[in-house]
Structure 1
Amino acid sequence: MQAHQAEDLDAAEQLYREVLELRVAQPDALHYLGVLCHQRGRSDEGVELIRTALQVTPQHPDAHNNMGNIHKECGRLREAEACYRKALGCGPQHHNALSNLAVVLEAQERPQEALEAYERLLRQAPRFAQGHYLLGLLLRNNAQGIEHIEQSVECFRAACALEPRFVQALEALSVSLYVLGRTDEAVQVYRDWLVREPDNPIPRHMLAACGGAEAPQRAGDAYVRDIFDRFADSFDEQLLQNLDYRAPQVLADALAQVLPPPAAALDVLDAGCGTGLCAPLLRPHARRLAGVDLSGGMVEKARQRGGYDALRVAELTAYLQEQPAAWDVVLSADTLVYFGELGPVLAAAHAALRPGGWLAFSLEAKEGDEDRVELTASGRYRHSRAHVMQALERSGFRDIRIAGDSLRKEFGQPVRSWVVLACRDGDAGPATRAWTA
């Protein structure tokens, strides 16, 4: 267990198996080896190991809870719910199981039941900061009016009071204040945070996002790395289940209109791969599928999910500049929202594509006809259609297609987005030749 907690998974797995050689049905070794197998992308094996452990100790709430976590992270929400309810049957005060139950109820679009679960949790554990934070997210994600945003502020304040260094709660608090028009209070949250942690890139970037400092041309590497390393464990859950995140599927559908039928013939780059949500959608087209992301935590999740031939931790523009004419397709799902000025990264993508290759990406939309970019309170940039078109044209792309859509929710409302396709100029490359053939 010490090796496991230190993330030395090779040593931990070997030691768990040695225990099981000495005592075949040792329940703790079965349970924690099951958790480890899931961490290494062998989720089905993990479920069977924990199931075996529960045959020996059927009233073990931690094992039921961890079985639920595996089901939840694999998208099996009903099975996860059943496991959390079993954990609570064994241990009614199991705060993590109750918190997890509320999360999967919300993900199944049962917000009233989720609300009741969070209220029960906070009656049992009023000093559980994570519970206050998650209740705030529930209220904000499902907001039906301004009062729900105001209630989320109180939840986030409670979480921050209990854990002053709770990064996600501090950021959520300021964003809710900004949305309510309480800009001075939002700015003060980040200024106070910077006084405590002057070298922390998160409050520095978010202070600019709230208008308290000049906006940078793009989000800094340290900010992006820190945010997504912290977010890696809950990324899929928050985006797919709570925010109706659709970017991977929508971009894959858009590419399907211009690519040949899937034949595993193309070299494909998932640029800003995150946890690997795009991998199963791109794999049928790919002879070689690579992923790159600035966050090591995200890349590790993508490695566990599988599907890639290569993964690398790197800054996107620099990585593309190292890959001249290497790719038939470059896809970037909600990564360029952290770039203000798009010119440098689009020029790098153009150079990394082979002639006739396709770039597909998504952005948050800035309305209006002018060439405009703005940094929003979320920490992400919005781009006008004119800015996107001009940046692509200056980079040398042709056959540019920009469609409006909604790829996620925020504060219970759809976020207006752009879905963009563009072809590298020059003679037809492998992707186009395969299509015409």
Structure 2
Amino acid sequence: MPHAATARSTGDFHADRRYEYARAAFEEGDFEAAADLARQVLELVPDFAPAQAMLGRAAAELGSAEEAVNALHRALALEPEDALGVRLDLARLGALAPEDAITDGYVRALFDDYAPKFDRHLTRSLAYRGPALIADALRRACSRRLREYRFGASLDLGCGTGLMAQELAGCCASIEGVDLSPRMLEKAQKTKLYDALHEGELVAFLDGRRTGEADLVVAADVFVYMAALDAVFRAAHRVLGREGLFAFTVQAHEGDGYVLGPDARYAHGESYLWALADDAGFDVVIFERVSTREDRGVPVPGFLVVMQR
């Protein structure tokens, strides 16, 4: 399960050393040592949230569910924005509803930490191709709808470092991006492909846009960090003008609704997406099974969707 980096100082040299030993023990699978060292840190600095989180995770691995949940709740109380991602652990332990597992604070911290190595890791280690698949699907959707493969005002949700804008370069009259992570936005700025970049949550961003102003809304592998998608479907439909396109990828699961997977990402069901499209007033142009990335060399199942307003 991915977590944002937690290498922070307690302000106590001895506690810092013990915490680093705890991290190393956890990474090596020595959960008893990790838990013991985390307890030692907390004796010195009781309000150090990363050590509470470490204790909770180690206790969970050791099967001590009550101690795990208590420590994780203490970590969350100390840092409610949850940059440490302990809500994911609580959900895995059944102590929190799956739809409440991922917060904006967690995603921001995760991708701020990820930003320096993001592109290389995605394209080389994970064989990531979400933006390329979306661009190809948009070409085919335009052909089916007898329209030119060119777009007016375009909005890139969860734009990250700008991989989607690179795929759409030269095809949009304008393109603006939104992302929670300021460090990702710094990298996107360097592409010089965006007319504007915005730091914030994507539904709030869409809610602040004018009705009917956009010709294209894209979201490449962004909805894996969102449970319910009804609000974003409604917002995208409102922002799009007549015959505007909404294109996105999601991870797939074979049931209804959505589930939080062991990879700490949400997967959405086919029937759920079709129902949302119908409720929001979209016409589905393309709905295909794809894989946008690999996990340990195995393709992760997903859906590629293009809808028209």
Q: TM-score range by the shorter chain?
A: 0.7 to 0.9
Q: Compute the displacement of 1:215 (Å).
A: 2.1
For residue 355 of structure 1, the aligned residue among 234, 237, 242 is: 242
Output the CA distance in 2 between the equivalents of 1:298 and 1:191.
Answer: 34
1:206 is the counterpart of 2:122: no
Q: Compute the displacement of 1:321 (Å).
A: 1.5
Change in 2 beyond 3 A, CA 1:277/1:155: farther
Output the CA distance in 1 between the equivalents of 2:286 and 2:28.
Answer: 40
Write out aligned runs for 1:380-391 (5 A): 380-391=265-276
Task: Report the 3-state secondary structure (helix = DSSP H, G, I; strand = E; otherwise coil) of the residue aligned with 2:134.
Answer: helix
For 2:297, the equivalent position in structure 1 comes to: 412
Q: Is contact 2:49–2:76 with CA below 8 Å preserved after alignment? A: no
By relative contact order (CA 8 Å, sep 6+), the higher-ranking structure is: 2
For residue 132 of structure 2, the aligned residue among 249, 255, 262 is: 249
For residue 326 of structure 1, the aligned residue among 203, 209, 213 is: 213
Q: Is contact 1:365–1:418 with CA below 8 Å preserved after alignment? A: yes
Greater per-residue helix proportion: 1
Q: Is contact 1:389–1:400 with CA below 8 Å preserved after alignment? A: no
Q: Compute the displacement of 1:174 (Å).
A: 5.8
Kindly name which structure, 1 or 2, has the bigger radius of gyration based on alpha carbons.
1
For 2:225, the equivalent position in structure 1 comes to: 338
Q: Is contact 2:253–2:269 with CA below 8 Å preserved after alignment? A: yes
1:336-384 CA-to-partner distances (Å, cap 9, x unmatched) read 112211111110011011110110011110113xx22111233221111
Change in 2 beyond 3 A, CA 1:358/1:262: closer
Output the CA distance in 2 between the equivalents of 1:233 and 1:342.
Answer: 29
Structure 1, unaligned stretches of length 5 or more?
1-126, 137-150, 425-437
Structure 2, unaligned stretches of length 5 or more?
1-17, 42-47
Change in 2 beyond 3 A, CA 1:325/1:239: same
* Seq. identity, %: 31
The one-letter amino acid paired with 2:253 is: K
Output the CA distance in 1 between the equivalents of 2:129 and 2:65.
Answer: 29
For 2:9, the equivalent position in structure 1 comes to: none
The one-letter amino acid paired with 1:249 is: A
Q: Compute the displacement of 1:277 (Å).
A: 0.9
For 1:367, the equivalent position in structure 2 comes to: 254
For 1:395, the equivalent position in structure 2 comes to: 280
For 2:194, the equivalent position in structure 1 comes to: 308
Write out aligned runs for 1:167-186 (5 A): 184=63
Change in 2 beyond 3 A, CA 1:287/1:208: same
Change in 2 beyond 3 A, CA 1:395/1:155: farther
1:154 is the counterpart of 2:40: no
Q: Is contact 2:221–2:249 with CA below 8 Å preserved after alignment? A: yes
Q: Is contact 1:385–1:402 with CA below 8 Å preserved after alignment? A: no
Task: Report the 3-state secondary structure (helix = DSSP H, G, I; strand = E; otherwise coil) of the residue aligned with 2:279.
Answer: helix
The one-letter amino acid paired with 1:344 is: A
Count of matched residue positions in the alignment of Structure 1 and Structure 2: 269
Change in 2 beyond 3 A, CA 1:185/1:284: farther
1:221 is the counterpart of 2:107: no
Q: Compute the displacement of 1:289 (Å).
A: 1.1
Alpha-carbon RMSD across the aligned residues, in angstroms, is 3.5
The one-letter amino acid paired with 1:405 is: V
For 1:279, the equivalent position in structure 2 comes to: 165
For 1:290, the equivalent position in structure 2 comes to: 176
Tell me the TM-score normalized by structure 2. Answer: 0.74
1:236 is the counterpart of 2:119: yes
Task: Report the 3-state secondary structure (helix = DSSP H, G, I; strand = E; otherwise coil) of the residue aligned with 2:99.
Answer: coil
Greater per-residue strand proportion: 2
For residue 258 of structure 1, the aligned residue among 111, 133, 141 is: 141
Task: Report the 3-state secondary structure (helix = DSSP H, G, I; strand = E; otherwise coil) of the residue aligned with 1:219.
Answer: coil
Write out aligned runs for 1:9-24 (5 A): none
Task: Report the 3-state secondary structure (helix = DSSP H, G, I; strand = E; otherwise coil) of the residue aligned with 2:110.
Answer: helix
